[in-house]
Structure 1
Amino acid sequence: MTDSHTDRFTEALNTSAIYAITDSKLMPGELLFEKAEAALKAGIGCLQYREKTADPAEKKQRAERLLKLCRQYKTPLIINDDLELALEIDADGVHLGQSDGSLTEARARLGVDKILGATCHASLELAQQAQDAGADYLAFGRFFPSATKPDAPPAPLELIAEAKARFQRPIVVIGGIDQSNAEVVFAQGADMIAVVNSLFADDNPAAALAAFPQR
């Protein structure tokens, strides 16, 4: 495996440690684009489009609009759980959960120039499989109570340091991370923090972003 895809995600890491994830409940209608652009303008590292309820045509239309915004701000757009959509609109990458298809197949279809992220929950074994399959980053969580995924099993903070020491991929952490606890996960070795409510529940995403501690 070459390092080209990892380098692409590293560019995002070097921009910001904030990995923003959209939420249709927090960002209905035009708020999706208004809040996304506010976050992009303020300087997030990457944006993930996460949509669980829209019909395929509407989802594609929204994704294309977000991609145009992301191109404007030179920020990667990653599609959640939908490899076909990512390929169709030529997004910058895709993030797959454990039930969203083969990482190996996704890597092959994406090629080396796109970003592939993988949900690893609290499992170093799943992370090893993801790294072996060609994932660019490994996502662990949840580490704190999460409004987005309230039923997700908790992960111990020590897992971050263990993963950081073991794997040669950036570590992304998710689950209830906000301005008050981000410093704790950074201290454990997290490369990037994935945020939803702590950024997009705010009427002013730029101010919310500014309140996060630096990595």
Structure 2
Amino acid sequence: MEQRNDHGMERGELHVISTGRQSSETLASIAEEIHDYVDVFHLREKAWSDREMVEAIEWLLAMGIPPEKIVVNHRIDVAHVTGVKGVQLAHHSIDVSTVRNAFGHLSIGCSVHSVKEAVSASEHGADYLLFGHIYPTSSKPGLAPRGLEGLRQVVRSASVPVIAIGGITPENTRETIQNGASGTAVLSGILLAEDPLEKAIAYKEELRRVAEDEQTI
């Protein structure tokens, strides 16, 4: 049986975030292959126009990805008009309380990088948080990771689920969950892998095993 928290999130969710390095067609093709093992797909494409974002969502839907699995980063209007699951807010986005009041039907995630940001977002209406980076990653060269201690502090301080991001691999997935994360988020580790399906299965299977182990404790 899946464990759920008060915000409806399953324990051990796998979020896959677009890399900004693939076309919408390529992304949709990979998503079709892996979506049985993925809980949420995030479209994080800063260079795409609103029209391109809508077209990408149309591609995903055409490939059989349910709208309740799709989250749009920052573009609240795109998330609203396309009827997808929700929006992921960044530090430069409209504040979460304003979005919550205007778009109460959307699931709202917030990307945070400190305890202060995590507490504020959770108190003002976020459904979940994305926190990182946890481990060293090539996408953040020269920037020290916030580590497992940072993750534990955010989990203790926030009143909503926390998804860990940054340098997550199947091998270190267990310790991120054991340190309080409700799930993990991955970009290139799946989408740019030689075999995305194999990688998606590896991540999801490790999340499943951790959840099962927790239930037996």
Same topology, TM > 0.5: yes
1:64 is aligned to 58
Residue 17 of structure 1 aligns to which amino acid in structure 2?
E
User: Aligned pair count?
Assistant: 201
Mapped partners of 1:55, 1:167: distance in 2:
33
Mapped partners of 1:61, 1:196: distance in 2:
20
CA apart distance, 1:80? 0.7
2:108 is aligned to 116
1:7 is aligned to 7
1:23 is aligned to 19
What secondary structure, in the 3-state scheme, does the structure 2 residue paired with 1:24 have?
A: coil
User: Is 1:76 equivalent to 2:69 in the alignment?
Assistant: yes
Residue 82 of structure 1 aligns to which amino acid in structure 2?
R
What secondary structure, in the 3-state scheme, does the structure 2 residue paired with 1:99 have?
A: coil
Gap change, CA 1:36 and 1:6, over 3 Å in 2? farther
Mapped partners of 1:85, 1:76: distance in 2:
15
- Equivalence map 1:34-113=2 (5 Å): 34-41=29-36, 43-68=37-62, 69-71=64-66, 75-111=68-104, 113=105
Structure 1 spans left out of the alignment, 5+ residues: none
Residue 16 of structure 2 aligns to which amino acid in structure 1?
A
Mean alpha-carbon deviation: is it higher for 92-101 or for 150-159? 150-159
Residue 53 of structure 1 aligns to which amino acid in structure 2?
A
Residue 97 of structure 2 aligns to which amino acid in structure 1?
T
Q: TM-score scaled by structure 2?
A: 0.83
Residue 54 of structure 2 aligns to which amino acid in structure 1?
K
RMSD, aligned α-carbons: 2.1
What secondary structure, in the 3-state scheme, does the structure 1 residue paired with 2:31 have?
A: helix
CA apart distance, 1:162? 2.3
- Equivalence map 1:140-159=2 (5 Å): 140-150=131-141, 154-159=145-150
CA apart distance, 1:127? 0.7
Mapped partners of 2:13, 2:164: distance in 1:
10
Gap change, CA 1:85 and 1:75, over 3 Å in 2? closer
Residue 123 of structure 2 aligns to which amino acid in structure 1?
D
What secondary structure, in the 3-state scheme, does the structure 1 residue paired with 2:84 have?
A: coil
What secondary structure, in the 3-state scheme, does the structure 2 residue paired with 1:202 have?
A: coil
Partner deviation per Cα, 1:56-114 (whole Å, 9 max, x = no partner) = 3222111232245322xx75211011111111211110001111121111111221x32
8 Å contact kept, 2:24–2:59 = no
What secondary structure, in the 3-state scheme, does the structure 2 residue paired with 1:165 have?
A: helix
Pick one of 14, 27, 39 that aligns with 1:32. 27
Mapped partners of 2:153, 2:78: distance in 1:
34
Structure 2 spans left out of the alignment, 5+ residues: 211-217
- Equivalence map 1:148-187=2 (5 Å): 148-150=139-141, 154-187=145-178
Percent identical residues: 24
Mapped partners of 1:94, 1:152: distance in 2:
26
What secondary structure, in the 3-state scheme, does the structure 1 residue paired with 2:137 have?
A: coil
1:205 is aligned to 196
Residue 159 of structure 1 aligns to which amino acid in structure 2?
G
Residue 119 of structure 1 aligns to which amino acid in structure 2?
S
8 Å contact kept, 1:147–1:197 = no
